[in-house]
Homo-oligomer: A and B are copies of this chain.
């Protein structure tokens, strides 16, 4: 069946299809569009809805299952196991022992250089992925949990953009610790809508700087983001 015609909306998208599915589902989970313990649509249904093959959906679900976000039962369905309020989600053991100040110290070491490397090395496709996350962030500003989760993804994409797997691995530890820290902070209601708006402005500026390949500007915005986190995590106000 040598069929090279791409039927309408792409029947063979280049590279990032699985990632797209993961992102989509992850967003729906953290925004509780698919609530905890709820059943998600069947694989066949998701495939059709998202316009991809079931294989691709499966691959995405495999990874979500590995991350402990869902659980699957043959013949029954896939269910959300991620609990945004619950403290049980899979953080690496080390994350629990990290104090907010230690976290900020480490971020201060790694983030400035990471930002520089990312601005230099990010591909157009990666920048595009960044903008997708950014717009999702704008859509969920009312939900602090979802916002922080997307924020984390934003940072992770930057780390990926450096093209340095070692840096990415290290930064994943940093993000684990940050998630842990923010859980406490949010519990104390320090992440208000007003603050989220401030964050959003910062990330918009950061993205523009990246897209313009402006190293100094990007580095500056990164520092601001770091300082803003510091306000919340170290409760200096």
Taking a contact as CB atoms under 8 Å apart, the answer to whether A173 and B177 are in contact is no
Q: How far is the CA of A124 from the CA of B170 in the complex (A)?
A: 29
Taking a contact as CB atoms under 8 Å apart, the answer to whether B94 and A166 are in contact is yes
Residues of chain B lying within 8 A (CB to CB) of residue A170: 106, 110, 170, 173-174
Taking a contact as CB atoms under 8 Å apart, the answer to whether A169 and B173 are in contact is yes
Residues in A98-121 with C-beta less than 8 Å from chain B: 98, 102-103, 105-106, 109-110, 113-114, 117
Q: Who on chain B is nearest to A117 by CB? A: B105
Nearest Cβ on chain B to A236's Cβ, whole angstroms: 20
Q: How far is the CA of A174 from the CA of B113 in the complex (A)?
A: 16
Q: How far is the CA of A167 from the CA of B105 in the complex (A)?
A: 9
Other than the known A106-B166, A109-B109, A109-B114, what 20 A-B pairs have Cβ atoms closer than 8 Å? Answer: A94-B166, A94-B169, A95-B166, A97-B165, A98-B166, A102-B163, A102-B164, A102-B165, A102-B167, A105-B164, A105-B167, A106-B164, A106-B167, A109-B167, A166-B173, A166-B174, A166-B177, A169-B173, A170-B170, A173-B173
- A contact face: mostly helix, strand, loop, or mixed: helix
Q: Who on chain B is nearest to A103 by CB? A: B166
Query: A residues touching B (Cβ–Cβ < 8 Å)?
Result: 92, 94-95, 97-98, 102-103, 105-106, 109-110, 113-114, 117, 163-170, 173-174, 177
Identical subunits present = 2
Q: How far is the CA of A185 from the CA of B95 in the complex (A)?
A: 33
Q: How far is the CA of A86 from the CA of B235 in the complex (A)?
A: 49
Q: How far is the CA of A196 from the CA of B141 in the complex (A)?
A: 56
Nearest Cβ on chain B to A159's Cβ, whole angstroms: 11
The 6 closest A-B pairs by CB, nearest first: A170-B170, A94-B169, A98-B166, A109-B113, A102-B164, A97-B165
